[in-house]
A and B are shown apart, each in its own frame.
Chain A
Amino acid sequence: MGADPRRLGRDPGLQAERTALAWQRTGVAAAVVGGLGVLAAAHRGSWALLAVAAVLSALGAAAAGYASTRPHRSLDLVRAPTRAPTAASFPSDAASDLAPVAPSAAGLPSPWSRLVATAAVAVLVALIGIVLALAS
């Protein structure tokens, strides 16, 4: 194991890291589903659908890469309560996970635009799937 995150003043629940990983998983999932759409469209010989699915897949892959590399501003905002890590505080991980954190004045960056973009990718791939299912 590495250094105790509490010594570094980090959130012991690693919320920001988990959120970045969730973005990465979602980006990978979007890329895979887009790839599936590419395969299905290629099999039907539909070049328009293939092109759209390829763009969506690339967007998903880009989102995954971005999520894993960008410096997460949230990391600085999610800090553990400044307490000395004592032996007694170590077993109470669940409790310390929910100990109140002083909210910063700036607040977390809004995930709105990224959420909407990701959902739009999912909706577009869903439309491709509906077209493929309806096409005879």
Chain B
Amino acid sequence: MDVTEPDRRRPGSVYRHGTEPDPRFSLANERTALAWVRTALALVAGGVGLTSVARLVGLSRWVDAVAGVMCLLGGWLAISAVLGWRRKEVALRTGLPLPAPVALPWLAGAVVVGALALAFVVLTARGR
């Protein structure tokens, strides 16, 4: 493959490495990053919705705490989606094995903890 002009694509930290991969794998990597961004947006939507409903119904401030953590996790996931895209694209270009999805166990763990916390809040609120 003879590239006559230098690669101007950004970020250079990705496109400096390796050779051009199969474009379909790059596109799949792009879609995976977008799926992570949508997961992040879903968490943020859940957080904003939760704190709004808690305010309307008069649930305890613990619900607001869960909502805040959901928004925090959503913001972090959005950043991790971009960084994950970069790491995977470098792996694709250099032919190295794909890195593991770092955020996945954290996301699953947070969903479990958040669900348990919400269940606790809802059950204790009904008991009062």
Contacts and interface: CB of A to CB of B under 8 A. Distances in A.
Interface of A: 11, 13, 15-16, 18-19, 22-23, 25-26, 29-30, 32-33, 36-37, 39-40, 43-44, 74, 77-78, 100-101, 103-105, 107-113, 115-116, 118-120, 122-123, 125-130, 132-134
A129 B86 CA distance: 27
Contacts of A101: 22-24
Main SS of chain A's interface residues? Answer: helix
Contact of B27 (A19, A39, A120): A19
Q: Select the residue from A32, A113, A120, A132 with max chain B CB neighbours within 10 A.
A: A132
Closest 10 CB pairs of A and B: A126-B75, A129-B71, A122-B78, A133-B68, A103-B20, A110-B9, A119-B78, A133-B51, A129-B48, A133-B67
Contact of B41 (A78, A122, A127, A128): A122
B68 A130 contact: yes
B38 A26 contact: yes
Contact of A107 (B9, B55, B79): B9
Given A105-B2, A110-B9, A126-B78, A13 B24 contact: yes
Interface stretch (B28-36, B96-104, B108-116, B118-126): B28-36
Q: Select the residue from B1, B11, B15, B22 with max chain A CB neighbours within 10 A.
A: B22
B117 interface: no
19 contacts: A16-B27, A25-B34, A29-B42, A30-B41, A33-B44, A36-B49, A44-B55, A78-B24, A105-B1, A107-B20, A110-B10, A118-B78, A119-B82, A122-B75, A125-B44, A125-B74, A126-B43, A130-B68, A133-B68
